[in-house]
Structure 1
């Protein structure tokens, strides 16, 4: 069958991966000073950081709306035998709900709630694309992806809480205390929701090394097919340490580095980095 895989822009897949797997990306909206911009098309993380650095207000995000989904699905549903769309967790955004409403207008469009974000969702997208390229039927792909979502392990470490404070997700006092004490919180995605895990302390480079070491060491439940190192704009030293640590601890067939898009960057700020992979 001829199946098209689509995803929203929060999956944070690189242009290279999007092209390789023939994936169509539907952008969310980033709201800056009251004006909406298409994520990754009309605005980039660098634009956001420069805006905030210059004293501008923090940007916010808005879901892909129903009309956008219908506009995207209409030509694709005619061109392909089936369209399978993967969305950011329904607990983070109304993208999934809007996509489901749009899909009611078609008999060959399927919607998957990734129960994740960033390349946690991207891992589901790539697996779906591989199954589509192998000629699997859409029902089997959807069933397999719904089972896969609970096996995705996604987490990030944030260098500073400044963006979380500006976005109202932590108090100014908590952010000040964390920054003064050099605390670097680990944000984990579990059951489609975010929670704060371990708080690392010390120089950020050392924290990243320890975080990855703890994520990958002493385990026999990791699928070593691929791992993502996903980060907002970060110091090269931090990214190099992440690569070195991943290579040392895991025999992954693919180590994919991607830059987080505007959605993650709007909330977490620069020098945020995570490793994302699938469990057996």
Structure 2
């Protein structure tokens, strides 16, 4: 057991086996259907989320963990004398970061450090894994934070949304935009820039064309990539994820190209068949 306990929240979308193997603490966000709250990844899985949306025709609301949730998660490790480093969902997207800061203030100075990933999904996960490895190497919390500050602006997060339906249901595009987009087979591409989800461009045509564009965008920057770890993260797009993994592994020379599945919070905003490629540029 190390002196430092690394925490993230459920939006980091790391594979469950990695979370278990590296003893990463996870604080779940909430997904709410009507008056019922579900803990992301604990009480509700992605397949169940989509079934509920199909049955009701409505998207759930999502909510950050409360300060009390963070206090309950952190306290056992603080009581063991361990330091905690929590890497959060972007503060531009959620109050999760702020609530964690409130919780950290309830512990002695220096016991809990909160770091804003300014990212989402495995854009967080990439930073979490760097922190885990640094902690395993005996780095201190300030040294790990310094490393993360260098890595954070170099995380590249780009994903293709397959359908405008969830953006429409979530109020992020109009009914007319949804109709026209569906007729023209338009798929928006989202990037994370300065901690915010930003529409980068649109791909018109087949899904295969969209996947080729996503792949080619990543491959065009192979020379800049940190070849340690690349993620292909998806929401119920297993076959496409395997295809992208195979191509990236063959054409980047990366040590590992890992596949991860998006949890309920990420999926509730993007919809089924969303898929992305996430990596870090070399520091």
TM exceeding 0.5 = yes
Which residue number in structure 1 is paired with residue 159 of structure 2?
A: 156
Aligned pair 1:195/2:198, yes or no?
yes
Against the structure 1 CA distance between its residues 72 and 228, is the aligned structure 2 distance closer, same or farther, given a 3 Å change threshold?
Answer: same
Taking the aligned partners of 1:254 and 1:235, their CA distance within structure 2 comes to 18
Q: Is the 8 A contact 2:11 2:121 kept in 1?
A: yes
Could you list the runs of 5+ residues in structure 2 that have no partner in the other structure?
none
Which residue number in structure 1 is paired with residue 269 of structure 2?
A: 267
Which residue number in structure 2 is paired with residue 96 of structure 1?
A: 97
> What CA deviation, in whole Å up to 9, does each residue of 1:218-274 have, x standing for no partner?
5421111100000001252x2233123312431110111000001111011100000
Q: Equivalent residue of 1:22, what SS?
A: coil
Taking the aligned partners of 2:15 and 2:81, their CA distance within structure 1 comes to 24
Aligned pair 1:173/2:176, yes or no?
yes
Which residue number in structure 2 is paired with residue 22 of structure 1?
A: 23
Taking the aligned partners of 1:37 and 1:55, their CA distance within structure 2 comes to 16
Q: Equivalent residue of 1:185, what SS?
A: strand
> What CA deviation, in whole Å up to 9, does each residue of 1:88-109 have, x standing for no partner?
0000000000001110122211
Taking the aligned partners of 1:81 and 1:75, their CA distance within structure 2 comes to 9
Aligned pair 1:229/2:227, yes or no?
no
Taking the aligned partners of 1:90 and 1:218, their CA distance within structure 2 comes to 27
| Deviation of 1:215 (Å) | 2.0
Taking the aligned partners of 1:14 and 1:263, their CA distance within structure 2 comes to 15
Q: How many correspondences in the alignment?
A: 279
Taking the aligned partners of 1:31 and 1:95, their CA distance within structure 2 comes to 16
Q: Equivalent residue of 2:56, what SS?
A: coil
| Deviation of 1:78 (Å) | 1.9
Which residue number in structure 2 is paired with residue 254 of structure 1?
A: 256
Taking the aligned partners of 2:73 and 2:271, their CA distance within structure 1 comes to 30
Could you list the runs of 5+ residues in structure 1 that have no partner in the other structure?
none
Q: Equivalent residue of 2:201, what SS?
A: strand
Cα RMSD of the aligned pairs, angstroms, is: 1.3
Q: Equivalent residue of 1:146, what SS?
A: helix
Which residue number in structure 1 is paired with residue 52 of structure 2?
A: 51
Q: Which runs of 4+ in 1 moved over 3 A?
A: none
| Deviation of 1:80 (Å) | 4.2
Q: Equivalent residue of 1:220, what SS?
A: helix
Q: TM-score, normalised by structure 1?
A: 0.96
Taking the aligned partners of 1:171 and 1:248, their CA distance within structure 2 comes to 41
Taking the aligned partners of 2:81 and 2:236, their CA distance within structure 1 comes to 36
Counterpart selection for 1:207 from 184, 207, 210: 210
Q: Equivalent residue of 1:277, what SS?
A: strand
Q: TM-score, normalised by structure 2?
A: 0.95
Taking the aligned partners of 1:270 and 1:47, their CA distance within structure 2 comes to 12
